[in-house]
Amino acid sequence: MKPDKINKLIKRLAAVSLWLIIWQIASVMTGLELLLASPVTVLRTLAGMLVTRQFYGILYLSVMHIMSGMLAGCLIGICAGILSARFDFLKEWLGIAVQLMKSLPVAAFIILVLMWWGSKNVTFIISAMVVIPMITTGVKEGILFLDEINCISETLTPMMLQFLQGKTFGNQKVPEGWVIVTAGNPPEYNKSVREFDLVTLDRIKKIDVDVNYDGWKEYAYQADIHPAILAYLEIRRDYFYRMETTVDGRVFATARGWEDLSQLLKTYEKLGKKADREVVHQYIQHWKIAKDFANYLELFYKYRTDYQIDEVLNGRIDDILVKKAAHASFDEKLSVTGLLLSRLNKGFEMVREEEDVLAAVFDILKESKEPLMEGQREQPVVYLEDVKNRYQAESAARKKAGLLSREDIHHDQQVLDTLERYVMNLKKENVQDGEAAFAFLRQWFNESKEKYDEDFDQAARQLEYAFDFMESAFAGGQELVVFITELNTSSPAVSLLQEYSCERYYRYNKELLFRENTRDILERIRQLG
């Protein structure tokens, strides 16, 4: 176990122990177990209950009551929300009831429920009353989004005006609590766009959205945009989004074009091919930018070979390369920094994926322990295969409903592959006993956990080696600022740094924050004259 995790564990155990001591002292001072039982008494009683079948029967009934109460609350909330939106006379009446449920504490309802319906119905009714206000509000309030609103035909314009002003479409009225949000491209981007007249503009609140490279860059890290594109745009930010009219027609570079080009570059690299100017121009339809990026791409591949990034991140730092980087041009320095960050982020992302898969598999195995030890102990392989099939069906349903991103689909597939491997291994071992099956599952999981720990440690070491190179080549330079800034915007890097305490990362972060604050103060002083 890593030292940071050990320290966290010690701190948590110390905090828990302190509260247990306080609890014990309070129990002794009270002197009445009926009013405040001691932790020893509670644990002893719990241990005695755990060995009885009655305890699990009561637990099962409680869970069923809570789940059925939540389901009933959802159904009542949906009906209440629809009725509130449809009928004005019910809106106020139901609104008061919902507000009461929101504002009054649950404890106030428990006493009334006990008096009116008895203790058996407490969990069902309270669960329903917690859910009802949330569902009711969610049904009667929302956002109706319409895309390409400025592309409608002239014949539909009167209906659109009626819709925007009165929230009615024909004889159908949009509920009062709903907000209409629309979007559309400017006329210069879409020939089918019609300019809004003053009558229409007077009925809407218009918000112009500007291009923002920093915002897109956060998305780019998550979408795994090719490092050459990120390094290039860091140098040529004004080339991120261009729209110009020339004698040869309309030329442009867009965020979508860069993302599509990224997919092509990664495919070409797998095939051992290189993209030339003509290929780049198919995606970046601005010849000047396409040519410039194609030239940079050649340099990017050259830097990747010359600077031996993999060797650097394995701790084998050549002094000659350090001197070469130190005396290189600013563009080259930024490219080298981008190469380091790209390679680091791949390692960070792999570690994060491993952690997410391990967490999902752990939850599945935790839920499977009791069935394998008790009810399904004679058919462990059948049970685990059923678990895998249920997970696959749930994943497929979420995918069909459009609830999964590309990363989610990849995650689910990795979990399924792990479960499939467990099933095949159990078949090979010819395991017929649930207890033995769980022992194997625990062993295989621990092996995966050990691999994750090794990959985590390797990613942490690579970060330290990257700092070694950056400090040797660019000590005190702007490149270190870029390096730290990019780490802060990379979600895989942030995820790792939450678990790994990198002293230099935090030190440089403080220096960067101090510089930014100083710059802001000086700028304010300058503005004040």
Higher pLDDT, 388 or 221: 388
Q: Worst-scoring range by mean pLDDT, 117-126, 145-154, 458-467, 471-480?
A: 117-126
**pLDDT given for residue 205 in this prediction:** 79
Looking at the chain, the number of H-run helices and the number of E-run strands are: 22, 6
Q: Convert the pLDDT of each residue in 203-235 to its tens digit.
A: 777 787 778 888 888 788 777 888 889 888 888
Contacts of 224 (CB under 8 A, 6+ apart): 262, 349
> Is 80 strand, coil or helix?
helix
Higher pLDDT, 133 or 502: 502
Structure tokens, 43 = 């644990």
**pLDDT given for residue 101 in this prediction:** 72
Residue 162: pLDDT band (50, 70, 90) is confident
Q: What is the DSSP letter of 403?
A: -
pLDDT surpasses 90 at 300:
no
Q: Convert the pLDDT of each residue in 1-59 to its tens digit.
A: 555 667 777 878 888 888 888 888 887 887 766 667 888 888 888 787 777 777 777 77
Q: What is the DSSP letter of 188?
A: G
pLDDT surpasses 70 at 520:
no
Higher pLDDT, 492 or 511: 492
Measure the CA–CA gap between 486 and 469, rounded to whole angstroms.
16
Q: What is the pTM of this model?
A: 0.59
Higher pLDDT, 247 or 487: 487
Residue 414: pLDDT band (50, 70, 90) is very high
**pLDDT given for residue 524 in this prediction:** 57
pLDDT surpasses 90 at 177:
no
Measure the CA–CA gap between 24 and 17, rounded to whole angstroms.
10
pLDDT surpasses 70 at 463:
yes
> Is 152 strand, coil or helix?
coil
- The answer to whether the beta carbons of residues 114 and 122 sit under 8 Å apart is yes
Residue 290: pLDDT band (50, 70, 90) is very high
Q: With left for phi above 0 and alpha for psi between -120 and 50, is residue 496 left, alpha or beta? A: alpha
**pLDDT given for residue 518 in this prediction:** 52
User: What average pLDDT does this structure show over 448-477?
Assistant: 91
Higher pLDDT, 251 or 166: 251
Higher pLDDT, 248 or 359: 359
Q: What percentage of residues in the chain have a pLDDT greater than 90? A: 15
> Is 379 strand, coil or helix?
coil
- The answer to whether the beta carbons of residues 222 and 491 sit under 8 Å apart is yes
Burial of 78 (0-12, 13-18, 19+ CB in 10 A): middle
Residue 486: pLDDT band (50, 70, 90) is confident
Q: Worst-scoring range by mean pLDDT, 129-143, 293-307, 345-359, 368-382?
A: 129-143
**pLDDT given for residue 421 in this prediction:** 92
**pLDDT given for residue 398 in this prediction:** 82
Mean pLDDT is highest, among 33-47, 144-158, 201-215, 326-340, for: 326-340
- The answer to whether the beta carbons of residues 186 and 148 sit under 8 Å apart is no
Residue 519: pLDDT band (50, 70, 90) is low
**pLDDT given for residue 413 in this prediction:** 92
**pLDDT given for residue 193 in this prediction:** 74
User: What average pLDDT does this structure show over 239-243?
Assistant: 89
pLDDT surpasses 60 at 503:
yes
Residue 386: pLDDT band (50, 70, 90) is confident
Strand locations in 233-352 (E) = 242-246, 249-253
| Start-to-end Cα distance in the chain | 57
**pLDDT given for residue 263 in this prediction:** 92
Beta bridge partners of 173: 168
Residue 447: pLDDT band (50, 70, 90) is very high
Contacts of 274 (CB under 8 A, 6+ apart): 268, 297, 298, 301
pLDDT surpasses 90 at 260:
yes
Q: What is the DSSP letter of 248?
A: T
Q: Worst-scoring range by mean pLDDT, 24-28, 138-142, 409-413, 429-433?
A: 138-142
**pLDDT given for residue 292 in this prediction:** 92
Higher pLDDT, 325 or 112: 325
Q: What percentage of residues in the chain have a pLDDT greater than 70? A: 87
- The answer to whether the beta carbons of residues 145 and 183 sit under 8 Å apart is yes
pLDDT surpasses 60 at 529:
no
Burial of 412 (0-12, 13-18, 19+ CB in 10 A): buried
Q: Worst-scoring range by mean pLDDT, 213-227, 288-302, 409-423, 495-509?
A: 213-227
pLDDT surpasses 80 at 100:
no
Beta bridge partners of 141: 177
- The answer to whether the beta carbons of residues 235 and 272 sit under 8 Å apart is no
- The Cβ of residue 316 has, within 10 Å, a number of other Cβ atoms equal to 10
pLDDT surpasses 90 at 417:
yes
**pLDDT given for residue 58 in this prediction:** 74
Domain boundaries, the chain: 1-51, 54-147, 148-201, 361-447
**pLDDT given for residue 221 in this prediction:** 77
